[in-house]
């Protein structure tokens, strides 16, 4: 479904040549992964193919070469090989392990550095577990090399690695804290360094991203609906920088929203974040910030309503090829959108509704 907005009429044609770009989209309930295409000249989205899976996948991510997709499920982690025609084939699943009964796999991230370990966290129950996985040379999941827990009362919902892969940071939504682990460069196993409580009660850190310069981390506080800035010292230690920005308008009731995602743009000159509404048919919000080369936030550019509440999603995913476009997924109505960005504001350029109850979780840009 095409939306007639100002951005669909803009000349976003800084691209030298138009291209068709592909994304994979996960699902919360539907047992499918979707491959969709975005034409950056026609500004249109289309469904290429829906691939049936044995489970719903709440979070998906690529390996370091984009030859495999790693996924979360309720009680396991899986890998899918990406074929030459962009179809996917399931290659392996590993169980969620550790002392975390009632928990489910919820998030994972991959290291671009050898030995290219995959790091996952679970959420729910009384304790959150972390799992570390080895991979084969072709990127397929191999074995669980470490299982650890974050302690009673934890619920880790987001992970991020330091640019050099030497530290793992964990956003503990339930425990209202951010954890720091040091990564063994040889084995990929992690060792606890610190647990830093959030600056206020009920902040509920949900997702985290680290600037490639290594000096700052940005954390979405789900409970207070703010984006918090953390400084990182030369040893990889975190400290709250006493800086945060709103992810909903100041006159809105905080309890009616739960903020979600944070992500860096292609050039890392911009930072994107989003919030969700707890009320159906009431919009969430999307925002972007300008960053200095070292990662300091210079300004918040806008705070714009999204097309829906977002359901459990409203997950923003900047394109892998340009700062002009970001994908946004919705779980209330089941769609993926592309938003256009001109350096000042943003708006919807196209929306693709995907059949099947439970779509959509997050989207990842393939090309």
Active site residues: 157, 206, 222, 276
**Residue carrying structure tokens 């084969």:** 136
Q: Element (H or E) spanning 110, and its range? A: strand 104-110
SS3 annotation, 207-262:
EEEECCCCCEEEEEECCCCEEEEEEECCCCCEEEEEEEEECCCCCCCHHHEEEEEE
Helix (H, G, I), strand (E, B) or coil at 25: strand
Helix (H, G, I), strand (E, B) or coil at 198: coil
Q: Which long-range contacts (CB under 8 A, 24 or more apart) does 40-44 make?
A: 40/12, 40/15, 40/322, 40/324, 40/325, 41/13, 41/15, 42/18, 43/8, 43/12, 43/338, 43/340, 43/349, 43/350, 44/2, 44/350
């Amino acid at each position: 479904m095409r939306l007639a907005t100002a951005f669909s009429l803009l000349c976003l044609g800084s691209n030298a040549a138009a291209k068709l770009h592909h994304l994979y989209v996960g699902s919360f309930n539907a047992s499918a992964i979707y491959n969709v295409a975005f034409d950056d000249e026609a500004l249109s989205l289309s469904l290429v193919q829906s691939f049936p899976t044995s489970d719903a996948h709440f979070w998906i991510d690529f390996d370091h070469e984009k030859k495999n997709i790693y996924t979360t499920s309720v009680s396991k982690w899986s890998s899918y090989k990406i074929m030459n025609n962009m179809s996917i084939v399931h290659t392996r699943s590993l169980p969620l392990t550790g002392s975390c009964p009632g928990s489910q796999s919820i998030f994972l991230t991959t290291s671009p550095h050898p030995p290219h370990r995959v790091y996952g966290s679970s959420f729910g129950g009384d304790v959150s577990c972390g799992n570390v996985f080895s991979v084969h040379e072709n990127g397929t999941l191999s074995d669980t090399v470490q299982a650890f827990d974050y302690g009673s009362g934890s619920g880790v919902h987001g992970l991020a690695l330091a640019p050099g892969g030497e530290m793992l940071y964990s956003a503990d939504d339930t425990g209202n804290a951010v954890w720091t682990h040091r990564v063994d460069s040889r084995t990929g196993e992690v060792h606890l360094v610190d647990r830093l409580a959030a600056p206020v009660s009920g902040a509920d850190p949900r997702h985290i991203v680290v600037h490639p310069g290594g000096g700052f981390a940005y954390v979405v506080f789900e409970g207070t609906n703010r984006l918090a800035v953390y400084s990182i010292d030369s040893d990889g230690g975190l400290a709250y920088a006493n800086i945060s920005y709103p992810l909903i308008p100041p006159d809105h009731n905080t309890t009616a929203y739960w903020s979600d995602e944070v992500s860096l743009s292609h050039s890392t000159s911009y930072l994107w974040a989003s919030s969700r509404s707890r009320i159906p048919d009431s919009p969430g919000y999307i925002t972007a910030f300008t960053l200095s080369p070292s990662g300091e936030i210079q300004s918040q550019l806008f705070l714009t309503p999204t097309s829906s509440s977002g359901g459990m999603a409203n997950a923003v995913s900047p394109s892998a090829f340009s700062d002009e476009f970001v994908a946004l997924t919705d779980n209330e109505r089941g769609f993926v959108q592309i938003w256009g960005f001109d350096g000042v504001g943003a708006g919807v350029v196209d929306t693709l509704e995907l059949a099947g109850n439970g779509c959509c979780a997050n989207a990842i840009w393939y090309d």
